[in-house]
């Protein structure tokens, strides 16, 4: 649907037209250094062409483009899935350890939440998970539900 020099611009465009954001650096077939607002991926080119006809009704400059192979190391898992997630991932770091939270460590810590920037499962910035980094020890404590 378009390529942009900033992630924020690509995310705004993707949200407006019902897509998601992809970092072009993560694929060998795309021009590096941009963020693309996309829909897909599609298993077959014919499926992409059908979607393109619909998209051009609202976004006349839309094109179908094969991104190529993901450039992430295979040791990280499915590179296609990781590249898709990394294009739209948000990491929120909160260094305010004074927050009263019965589940948080009872000493200074950093809260790191991981979620998607665009709407996922009907929520904006829906958290997927996170962890606490205890400042004194460097211990990483996974965030999980607890009873108050």
Q: What string of DSSP letters covers 28-96?
A: TTS-TT-EEEE----SSHHHHHHHHHHHHTT-TT-------SB-S-GGGS-HHHHHHHHTTEEEEEE--
Q: What is the mean pLDDT of residues 98-113?
A: 73
**Contact call for residues 15 and 26 (beta carbons, < 8 A):** no
| Span between the terminal Cα atoms of the chain, in Å | 46
Per-residue pLDDT tens for 43-98? 788 988 998 998 899 889 899 988 887 776 666 666 666 666 666 656 666 776 55
Distance of alpha carbon 28 from the chain centroid: 19
Tokens of 80: 């296609």
Confidence of residue 119 (pLDDT cuts 50, 70, 90): very low
pLDDT in tens, 3-45: 999 988 988 888 888 788 888 888 888 898 899 888 877 778 8
User: What global pTM score does this model have?
Assistant: 0.54
Helix, strand, or coil here: 109? strand
Whole-angstrom distance, CA of residue 24 vs CA of residue 41: 14
Q: Is the pLDDT of residue 122 over 50?
A: no
Rounded to whole angstroms, the maximal C-alpha distance in the chain is 57
> Which pLDDT value is given to residue 83?
62
């Amino acid at each position: 649907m378009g390529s942009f020099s900033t992630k924020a611009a690509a995310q705004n465009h993707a949200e407006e037209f019902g897509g998601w954001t992809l970092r072009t650096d993560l694929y060998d077939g795309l021009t590096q250094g941009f963020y693309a607002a996309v829909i897909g991926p599609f298993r077959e080119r014919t499926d992409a062409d059908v979607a393109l006809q619909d998209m051009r009704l609202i976004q006349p400059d839309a094109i179908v483009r094969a991104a190529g192979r993901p450039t992430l190391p295979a040791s990280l898992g499915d590179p296609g899935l990781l590249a898709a997630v990394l294009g739209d991932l948000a990491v929120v770091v909160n260094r305010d350890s004074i927050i009263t939270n019965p589940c948080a460590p009872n000493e200074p810590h950093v809260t790191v939440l991981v979620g998607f920037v665009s709407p996922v499962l009907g929520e904006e910035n829906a958290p997927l998970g996170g962890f606490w980094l205890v400042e004194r020890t460097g211990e990483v404590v996974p965030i999980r539900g607890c009873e108050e």
